[in-house]
Structure 1
């Protein structure tokens, strides 16, 4: 996570100097390893993706079409729970464990 944070900071330093360049946000969420937690996180992400005003979430996004994606989420049982929510929201998911899907 430290590496991802450093990459985000380096990218955003450059992006802030170029008007119109979208900023990169790394948002960490804890599912607590349970279905209820995973569904809450997935629903929060879906709400974020559906919002036309990302500033209400404390984000300085200034792109009319911000890219939103999810990286992580394991084990496969949690992926199965959240996948329908993310699919309906049009949010791509990259996961290290998605066996049987």
Structure 2
């Protein structure tokens, strides 16, 4: 929700983890959330409360049904995904994102059945 990385690819720490996992980041570039996203996507997922507050300020975002990522992992003590740009803990963030994505994928599959 901040513009400081718009147009840039993933951080080198993220690229290192993705390379280790065999996950492509080709053509991946940061962009801002837009009001069109509320129409175009089934899920708007926020990594922390600050991002959620910023998303709500976007036209159309006030009443959007947001999903906070760590709500997918209630067994974790953390309630927000730590920002690895500040913590440097890209491995831990990858673990959380991977586990949460598994839960989200299973939720989507069940919703579509």
TM interval, short-chain normalised: 0.3 to 0.5
Please give the TM-score of this superposition, normalised by the length of structure 1. 0.33
* TM-score normalised by structure 2 residue count: 0.30
Q: Which has the higher contact order (CA 8 A, sep 6+)?
A: 1
